[in-house]
Amino acid sequence: MEAERRDKELRKLRLKYEIMARHEVNVRMSEINSFLEQRARDQVESEKKRDLVTESIQKDLADRLQQSREELLAIKQQMKGGGKTNRFRCQLINRVLLFFRYRERHLWSSEAA
């Protein structure tokens, strides 16, 4: 009789400690999940910021390139009709404009990728 009661009490205690241990494991797992979720949100936010900065830089570079191109075209227009020196400068400007077109295409193709 005494042994049965002791065994029953031991089973109760064992069950109680098992429930407590499971609860503690669940609490720790919940903390870990919360930490990982926050880290994932931070990572997404960081990637968004990086993409916005990259996009802003590329837009600024494209705007500057376009502005330089327009300035060179204006200079070329002003130089038309003048002697050999002006023709040489116009050829030089044409080469620079070709380079700008190449850079512009390269800039937009890298942005699309």
CA distance linking residue 85 with residue 98, whole number of Å: 20
* Annotated domain spans of the chain: 2-112
The amino acid occupying position 69 is R
Q: Render pLDDT for 98-107 as a digit per residue (tens, 0 to 9).
A: 877 777 777 6
| pLDDT tens, residue by residue, 87-100 | 777 777 777 778 77
Q: What gap in Å lies between CA 89 and CA 87, rounded to an integer? A: 5
pLDDT digits (tens, 9 = 90+) for 47-100: 999 999 999 998 888 888 888 878 877 777 776 666 666 677 777 777 777 877
Residue ranges of the alpha helices (H) in the chain? 2-79, 84-112
Q: What is the pLDDT of residues 8-21, one digit of tens each?
A: 999 999 999 999 99
Rounded Cα distance, 84 and 91, in Å: 10
Q: pTM value?
A: 0.55
Spatial contact of 93 and 75, defined as CB atoms under 8 Å apart: yes
How far is it, in rounded angstroms, from Cα 101 to Cα 107?
Answer: 10
